Structures are given as structure tokens and as C-alpha cells.
Chains A and B, each alone.
Chain A
Amino acid sequence: MAETALLEVEDLAVHFRLPLPVAERAMGRRPKVLKAVDGVSFAIGKGVTLSVVGESGCGKSTVARLIAGLYRPTRGRVAIDGRDVTAAKDRTRAIRRRLTMIFQDPQASLNPRWRVRDIIAEPIRAFGIAGDARETGRQVDGLLEQVGLAGADGEKYPHEFSGGQRQRISIARALASKPDLILCDEPTSALDVSVQAQILNLMRDLQDDLGLTYLFISHDLAVVHHMSDRIAVMYLGRFVEVADAAALFAAPQHPYTQLLLETIPDLGMTGRDREAVAGEVPSPIDPPSGCAFHPRCPHANERCRTERPELRTAGGPDGATVACHAVEEGRIVGAPARGTADG
């Protein structure tokens, strides 16, 4: 990442105040605060896919929504091509055009009363990309073909399509404004595996053809492994490890990453007996002190319980960073996960 990254995020955070029942408010209790995202920093270079992976409630979708401008951050900074776009007033049309989003549920993100043609044409019209209606129509046809649909499908309504086809429509709409960066929030989690493969292949092809940059949000490590150049593992609102995809899977360093890799069911694992890891993700409303992972961590000591670890370079050629006292102190070394040997 020598040159300016396409997207830079610095210490981004959003805290939601939870509504308090009237009775408790009358008693003078202060509202609780949910720190959905609590200080994440990263940069994505052009044409690269960075994935954010974590369990439900860790804040990964919120990160995408913050970057899209759907929430106002409590603190932190978002920059595109080095230009600060954190505040709503800095999000000019030119900036908004360059950044689009694909959501998990295409059923919910496509207006059921609009024809597909109008759904896809909306960004083209809104950003004044095509000169006239004829040109808009031509572009819509081109987009439909680009995502593997036919031009005639434009006359139909979203309900006439299957889940996979609807996600293709979402992708066509996301491409309509000729963006540089697409924020993909679990784009295939609602799809069956054979359809998921089609959509993932399509997304990779589009990236190659158009030089797109993806921020890919997913809970599915196998999908993330397939799609990403770089991966950030998130736990309770913070990144615990950021590394190149290959390195992360070959030698996960953070105990939480190791746990995730250890526990995911995988096709290569027939007949394996799992080592069940105790504990569950704590509530983000009252996260544990110190390192949020310490109650489940086999390596936790007094320092982990009191002092919150920061992301630090963990050594290695690819500039992986890990937020873990035990790794920093050399109490654990990156255990090689199950590698390609069993494949």
C-alpha cells in the first residue's frame, strides 16, 4: 500500500444509546451505550478485496454502513482517495457515485413495485450518467447482460426472479453508477450453495473486468477465503487480526482467529471430532474489560483482563497486525491451522 489507498478508515466508531424504560429514566439511570464499532482502522488499495469476518453482533455490517454513510460515526474518519468524506456535507454527488452497496437480502433491497429496468436506471438518472433516455436504456441493457440476465428481463418485476437472479439485479444496480468501491454486506448468505458459486464467480469476473474494489462483509470463512486478498477478523466492535488471506489461514495468530478456524465445519473434515470451545460471544452492551476475548481465551492472564490490546504488527513479511498481549509477549506463536495437507 505505497500509493494512496482508495478507501482509508481511521479509528472509526459508532456508539448507539439504548432507549431506557421510563421508570428507569425517572430513577435517574443513565442510558446504556452499545459500542457497535469501537475504533477500527484500515485501508483498501484499488482493485483489492478486503473482507471483514466475524460472528453475528460483532459490528461487521455496521462498518459497511458507516462507510456508506448510512450512520453518522461517533468518532473517526473515512477518506476516499485521500479526501475526507466523514461528514455528510463532504459526500458530494461525485463521491456518492463512486461508492455503492450490495445487501444481503435482495428481496428486501429491491422495490417490489418497480420494474427491474427502472431499478437499475435509477442511479444512472440520479447521477446524470447517460445523456438521454435512449442512452439510459442502452446502459441498462448492457448492465443486465453483464450480470448474466437478458435485456428482456428489464420489463419484469423483482418477484418474477429467483433469489440468485435478484441478487444479480442488485449487482447490476450497484454497477450502474460506475463505482470504484462496492460494499458487499453478506451478498450470498441468503442463497443456496450452487447459486452462491454463480454469484461469487460473477463478482470475481466483474472485479477483473472493471477493476472494482470490494469491502466484503461475511460470516462465512470459506467464502471469505475464496474472495479476499486481505482479511480483518472482528470481535465485539474491534479488529483483532488483519492479515493477507493466505497468511491468515496458514498461520492464524490471534486466539479468536484460531478458534474460528478450528470450529468451522468444512467439507474436508469428514468424521472429525471437534474440540468444543467453551463460551459464547458476550453482549456488546457490557463487553468484558481489557481484551474483550479474555473470558474465552485459553491464554488470558491478568494483563489481558485489565488492559485492552491494540493492533500491532506481528512480524512476518505481509504486515499482519494482531491485537493480543499473548502474541506480543511471545506467549503464543501462530499455530499453523489445518493447511492444504488434508485437501
Chain B
Amino acid sequence: MTGGTTSALLPRTLLDVRDLKVGLPTRRGHLSILNGVDLHVKEGEVLGVVGESGAGKSITGLAVIGLLEPPARIDDGEVWFDGARIDGLSGDALRRIRGARIGVIFQDPLTSLNPLYTIGFQLTETIRTHMDLGADAAEKRAVELLDEVGIPAAASRLGAYPHEFSGGMRQRVVIALALCANPRLIIADEPTTALDVSIQAQIIGVLKRLCREHGTAVMLITHDMGVIAETADRVAVMYAGRVIEDGTVAEVVRNASHPYSHGLMGSIPTIGERVGRLPQIRGAMPRVGAVPVGCAFAPRCPEVRDLCRAERPAMMDGRTTSAACWQYSPRWPDRSGAAGPEAGIGTAGAESAAADG
């Protein structure tokens, strides 16, 4: 597999998200949903963005392409795409980027396709919006695209409506739509979550093959570590509205630096080995609006020190990845005496089971 060859040419950074903050004004005050997300995607690279529900993965994707649902809005930070800043662009300017240079794939293929139009119409419409092609040429391209994503007898399916396709076939059509204008980057938000495992495998295969052939970069957002493990080159782990670890997929999966990523990988049952008890992280992720002051993971962390509760760690060089954890700072107190019983966070009740390994 071509896992490690990407670093040889030092590809350019295509998407660069810097200290992105997204908030939601509510009657009870301002809720911060993203608390400073930093991530980047290089050309031709597959970046996996993982985290549990509520970590802010999808919001990050939506914020990048300017599809945040008001009243949610970008409070602070910058989004750079292909050398230009794209946050704060007007709706029209963003629309020219979306579809043409950044393709999007959402979780549920049925809601991304218009049920009232044939897929041929939807494909040619998208192609002609973003490319200077005549009707015949657009149709020819539509057939080629459907062929590429593995829809059998593509030419004869142009007249079919979305409901005439199965879930897996629909997601193929959505991938074809996202690829219409040869985008540089595809943002795929849980593209296989709604599908059965055997179909999931096919879709991942198609996505991987096409991106390799076209040199398209992918920001793959999912909660499924298995999908990330075999698709992504690099992984960004999100927790409570921030990226807390960033590294190559092999290192994050096998040798994560941040205690949260480490615990998360350990708590996933795998086929390879069978253990008596799964290592578990006690507690649950803090809710939006109840994120503690220091490190958001401090209340659940087995390594917690006073420093962690007082100050939020920035990203630093961990063992082999970068991680937002004080352990890798010179300020880390060596003696573990400081770690007392954790002061509970805002959420009531004890999620924790009595003893963890």
C-alpha cells in the first residue's frame, strides 16, 4: 500500500484551518461549539477527523464550506483554501468554491439527492453549473462519472430517480455528484455510516480509488475508527470542540500520545484479539457549554495534575504525533502526587462504572 510515500514530495497544504471558533447565541447566553480547531489537509491526502458525537467534527466540516446553520456562526479563526482565505466570503463567492473546488458528501444519500429529478438531470445540472460544457458533453461526462463510481449500465440509468437505487448505489451517485467538477478537496461527513458493512466496504473502496486516481484530497469525518484506520493517511482526533491529537494513522491507532485517544483506541473491540474486559474511559465527554476551564479531558484523565485543571494545553510534540496534553511540556510535574480525586464536571450523576482496569 502507498501509506508512507506522501511525505517524500512534501505536498502543499490545501486546506488550513486556524484556531476556528464557532458559537451559538442562545437565550441563556453564548454557547461555544468549537473552541479553537486547528487542522490542515495537504494535497492528495486523506485526513480522518474522528471523535465521539458532540465533539464538533461535523460542525468543523460545515464551517469550512460555509454551510453553518444560523444562528451558529464563526466567532473567530481563519479558514484558508488553496492559498486564499475563504471564511467570511460572500454567499456567491462561496458557492463558486463549493461544488467546483470543494466537493461534499453527506451521511444520508437520500437527503442529498432531490427525489423529484432524475439523477441524470442532477448530474448534468451540477456539471454545467461548474464547467463550461454543452448539454451533450455534460451528459457524456455524467455517464463517465457514473461508470467510474461503479454503477452498472450507467448510460441507461441516467433517467432513473433516486428512489430506484439502493442505499449503496445512491451513495455512489452522491460521490459522482461530488466529483463532477474535479474538485481539489472532498469533505465527506460520515459517508458510510448509513450503510451495511459489505456495502460500506465497496463505498470506501470507490472513494479511495477515485481520490488516488484524481489526486483529490479528502477530509473524512467519521466516528468509525475502523473506517479511518484503513482509509486515512493522517488522523485528527477531536474532543469537546478542539483537535487534541494529530498524527499519522498508524501512530494514532497504535501509539496515541493523548490519554483520550489512547483510551478511545483501547475501548474499541477488535477482531484480532479477545480480551476479558475492554479498557474503558470513565465518565462522558462534557456537554457543549459545560466544558471545564483547563484541559477538557482533565475530569476523565488518569494522568491528571493540577496544571491540567488550571490551564488549557496547546498542541505540542508528543511521542510520535502532536497532542494537546501537558505531559509533553517541560512544565509537567514529574511526581504524580498531585493527582487527587477528580473534581466532577458540570454533568450530574456518575457515568463511571466502579472499577476500571
Which residues on A are within 8 Å of B, measured CB to CB? 55-56, 148-150, 153, 156, 160-162, 164-165, 192-198, 200-202, 204-205, 219, 221-223, 225-226, 245-246, 249, 259-274, 276-278, 280-281, 337-340, 342-343
- A148 to B353 CA separation, bound complex (whole angstroms): 5
**A193 in complex: contacting residue of B169, B208, B264, B282, CB < 8 Å:** B264
Which 10 residue pairs are nearest across A and B when measured between Cβ atoms? A265-B226, A343-B272, A197-B267, A263-B201, A192-B52, A226-B269, A55-B196, A197-B278, A276-B205, A271-B3
Q: Which residues of A contact B348 (CB under 8 A)?
A: 160
Mark each residue of chain B from 45 to 61: 1 if its CB lies under 8 Å from any CB of chain A, else 0.
Answer: 00000001100000000
| Min distance, Cβ B234 to any Cβ of chain A, angstroms | 11
A278 and B150 CA atoms in complex are apart in Å by 10
Beyond A193-B264, A340-B273, list 11 extra A-B contacts (CB 8 Å). A164-B284, A197-B278, A201-B353, A205-B353, A221-B271, A265-B204, A265-B227, A270-B230, A271-B1, A277-B202, A343-B270
B348 → chain A closest CB, angstroms: 7
Q: Is the CB of A277 within 8 A of B223?
A: no
Among the listed B197, B206, B225, B282, which residue makes an inter-chain contact with A264, where contact means beta carbons less than 8 Å apart? B197
Main secondary structure, interface of B, reads: loop
- In the complex, the answer to whether A192 meets B273 with C-beta atoms within 8 Å is no
- Residue B294 at the A interface, CB < 8 A? no
CB-CB contacts of B320-357 with A at 8 A, as 1s and 0s?
Answer: 00000000000000000000000000011111111000
Give bound CA distance, A221 to B272, whole Å.
11
Contact of B3 with A270 in the complex, beta carbons under 8 Å:
yes
Distance of A164 Cα from B280 Cα, bound (Å): 13
Report B343 CB to chain A, min CB distance, Å: 17
Contacts of B352 in A (CB 8 A): 148, 198
Quick check: A277 and B201 within 8 Å, CB to CB?
yes
> Given the complex of chains A and B, what is the CA–CA distance between A16 and B205 in angstroms?
36
CB distance from B85 to the nearest CB of A (A): 34
Question: Can you give 24 A-B contacts (C-beta < 8 A)?
Answer: A55-B197, A149-B349, A193-B225, A221-B271, A225-B269, A245-B274, A246-B274, A264-B201, A266-B229, A266-B270, A267-B265, A267-B270, A267-B272, A269-B226, A270-B230, A271-B249, A272-B230, A277-B198, A278-B202, A280-B166, A281-B198, A338-B272, A343-B270, A343-B272
With A202-B353, A270-B3, A277-B202 known as contacts, the answer to whether A219 contacts B270 (CB < 8 A) is: no
Residue from B224, B263, B277 having most chain A Cβ neighbours under 10 A: B277
The answer to the question of B97 belonging to the interface, with a C-beta cut-off of 8 Å to chain A, is no
Q: Are B52 and A194 in contact (CB under 8 A)?
A: yes
Check if A198 sits within 8 Å of B353, measured CB to CB: yes
- Name the residue on B nearest A281 (C-beta): B196
Q: How far is the CA of A342 from the CA of B202 in the complex (A)?
A: 23
B281 interface hit (Cβ, 8 Å): yes
Check if B280 sits within 8 Å of A197, measured CB to CB: yes
Q: Is the CB of B253 closer than 8 A to any CB of chain A?
A: yes
Complex: A303 Cα to B28 Cα, angstroms: 68
Interface residue SS majority, chain A: helix
CA distance A88 to B249 in the complex (A): 54
Distance of A236 from chain B, by nearest CB (Å): 13
CB distance from A48 to the nearest CB of B (A): 16
Q: Which residue of A lies closest to B196 (CB)?
A: A55
Q: Which residues of A contact B351 (CB under 8 A)?
A: 148, 162, 164-165, 195, 198
* A161, A162, A338: residue with the most chain B Cβ atoms closer than 10 Å: A162
A263 x B267 contact (CB < 8 A): no
Shortest B147–chain A CB gap in Å is 15
Q: Which residues of B contact A266 (CB under 8 A)?
A: 226, 229-230, 270-272
Q: A194-B263, A270-B253 are in contact. Are A162 and B284 (CB under 8 A)?
A: yes
Contact A165 B349 (CB under 8 A): yes
Q: Note all chain A residues with C-beta closer than 8 A to B273.
A: 340, 343
Known: A162-B351, A198-B353, A263-B201. A56 touches B223 (CB 8 A): no
For B52, B166, B197, B249, the residue with the greatest tally of chain A CB atoms inside 10 Å of its CB is B197
B200 close to A (CB within 8 Å): yes
Name the one of B3, B272, B347, B354 contacting A268, with C-beta atoms under 8 angstroms. Answer: B272
Determine if B350 and A148 form an interchain contact, defined as CB atoms under 8 angstroms apart.
yes
Contact A260 B198 (CB under 8 A): yes
Give Cα distance in the complex from A197 to B353, angstroms: 11
State whether A193 and B249 are in contact (beta carbons under 8 Å apart), knowing that A150-B350, A200-B278, A276-B202 are contacts in the complex: no
- Docked CA distance A219–B200 (Å): 13
Task: Let me know if A194 and B267 touch, CB within 8 A.
Answer: yes
Contacts of A263 in B (CB 8 A): 197-198, 200-201
Whether B250 is near chain A, meaning CB under 8 Å from some CB there, is yes
CB–CB A201/B229 < 8 A: no
